[in-house]
């Protein structure tokens, strides 16, 4: 059984890596140039009870996040949500790194507007092969915000400290969201190819699998396309203006209309054929989208 080290606090993290004592219990900035990687940490598995935003150069040789290796390259920004497993592979003690690691506990933001918005920053749930690759200019923008946080941490904690730090955190997250948008644009062709594959899978599912397997989920298509549900939704939203769930419902509605008008099956039979567990759920869904019950739609058409 693999050994998992649970890191519950910022202070525990500093102790583990031999870094100086943190100036704030809920947030810290690590300067990777100021400490050497420890070979005793290689081949270990860590679960940290806080958010991580990390930029390291040169790229680590081997880092497993969840079930996949991180797509590290020069200029890669890494986002880790709390309580995710990070597995460290080979460590080269002779390599000198630079960059930053920004670590912050959810308690810092939970009572703030940012805490309510964290779910909107979907890149914390992206697969590791969907990293953000930043340009030199983008890196400079992020570095300046990190410097601002470091400077704020030099001051004694007062009633304004958390508010100031949270403001900077929100800036980093908003810039990262913008940079991801740029990445979607740059990757337009492969994204459009994924969109075509998604549409093919979606139509095939309703033609071949829905009666047996039930209504499809976002996770089903993400797995088939080998990307995370969050990244798939952001990609589709960027390409079509609609989320994965919305596109599934659009296809479901179109398939329902076709079956209602091209068969003599009862409403209950159509509902079961479309993967609904109960006919009343089908009736409610159809009426919410068209203003008509399935029977009314068939009668009028």
Q: Please, are residues 34 and 109 in contact by the beta-carbon 8 Å criterion?
A: no
Give pLDDT, residue 68. 47
pLDDT per position in the chain (301 positions), as tens? 457 788 999 999 999 888 889 999 999 999 888 776 666 666 677 888 999 998 876 555 445 444 444 444 556 788 888 888 776 655 556 666 678 999 999 999 999 999 989 988 888 876 655 677 788 888 899 999 999 999 999 999 999 999 999 999 999 999 998 988 887 776 667 777 888 899 999 999 998 888 889 999 999 999 999 888 888 988 898 888 899 999 999 999 999 999 998 889 999 999 999 999 999 999 999 999 999 999 999 998 8
Whether 143 and 45 share a structural domain: yes
Whether 88 and 25 share a structural domain: yes
Whether 94 and 65 share a structural domain: yes
Whether 263 and 129 share a structural domain: no
Give pLDDT, residue 11. 94
Give pLDDT, residue 37. 62
Q: Is the dihedral of CA 143, 147, 148, 153 positive or negative?
A: positive
Whether 163 and 48 share a structural domain: yes
Whether 193 and 177 share a structural domain: no
Give pLDDT, residue 78. 84
At residue 166, the 3 state secondary structure works out as helix
CATH number at residue 284: 1.10.10.60
Whether 129 and 257 share a structural domain: no
Q: Which residues of 137-150 are buried (b: 16+ CB within 10 A; e: fewer)?
A: ebbebbeebbebbb
CATH number at residue 130: 2.60.120.280
Sole residue written with tokens 């009870």: 49
Give pLDDT, residue 126. 64
Residue 43 CA to residue 34 CA, distance in Å, equals 22
Quote the number of domains for the chain: 2
Whether 194 and 180 share a structural domain: no
> Which of 154, 186, 218 is at the close of a domain?
186
> Which of 164, 186, 208 is at the close of a domain?
186
Whether 175 and 237 share a structural domain: no
Give pLDDT, residue 72. 45
Torsion of the alpha carbons at 120, 51, 161 and 169, rounded to the nearest 10: -40
Whether 40 and 116 share a structural domain: yes
Whether 148 and 270 share a structural domain: no
> Which of 150, 166, 186 is at the close of a domain?
186
Whether 24 and 66 share a structural domain: yes
Give pLDDT, residue 67. 44
| Domain span at 78 | 4-186
């Amino acid at each position: 059984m693999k050994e998992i080290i649970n890191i519950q606090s910022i202070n525990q993290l500093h102790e583990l890596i031999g870094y100086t004592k943190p100036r704030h219990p809920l947030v810290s900035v690590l300067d990777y140039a100021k400490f050497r990687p420890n070979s005793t940490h290689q081949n270990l598995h860590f679960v940290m009870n806080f958010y991580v935003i990390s930029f390291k150069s040169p790229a680590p040789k081997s880092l497993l996040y969840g079930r996949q290796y991180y797509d590290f390259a020069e200029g890669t920004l890494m986002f880790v949500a709390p309580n995710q497993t990070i597995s460290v592979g080979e460590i080269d003690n002779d390599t000198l790194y630079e960059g930053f690691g920004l670590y912050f506990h959810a308690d810092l933001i939970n009572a703030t507007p940012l805490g309510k918005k964290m779910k909107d920053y979907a890149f914390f749930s992206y697969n590791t092969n969907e990293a953000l690759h930043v340009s030199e200019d983008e890196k400079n923008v992020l570095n300046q915000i990190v410097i601002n946080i470091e400077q704020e941490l030099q001051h004694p904690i007062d009633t304004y400290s958390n508010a100031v730090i949270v403001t900077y955190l929100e800036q980093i997250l908003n810039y990262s969201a913008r940079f991801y948008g740029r990445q979607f644009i740059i990757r337009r062709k492969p994204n459009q190819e994924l969109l075509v594959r998604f549409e093919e899978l979606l139509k095939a599912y309703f033609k071949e699998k829905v009666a047996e397997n039930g209504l499809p989920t976002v996770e089903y298509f993400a797995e088939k396309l080998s990307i995370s549900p969050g990244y798939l939704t952001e990609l589709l939203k960027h390409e079509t203006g609609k989320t994965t769930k919305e596109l599934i419902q659009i296809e479901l509605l179109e398939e329902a209309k076709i079956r209602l008008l091209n068969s003599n099956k009862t409403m209950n039979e159509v509902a079961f054929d479309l993967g609904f567990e109960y006919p009343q759920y089908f009736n409610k869904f159809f009426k919410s989208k068209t203003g008509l019950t399935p029977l009314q739609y068939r009668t009028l058409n």
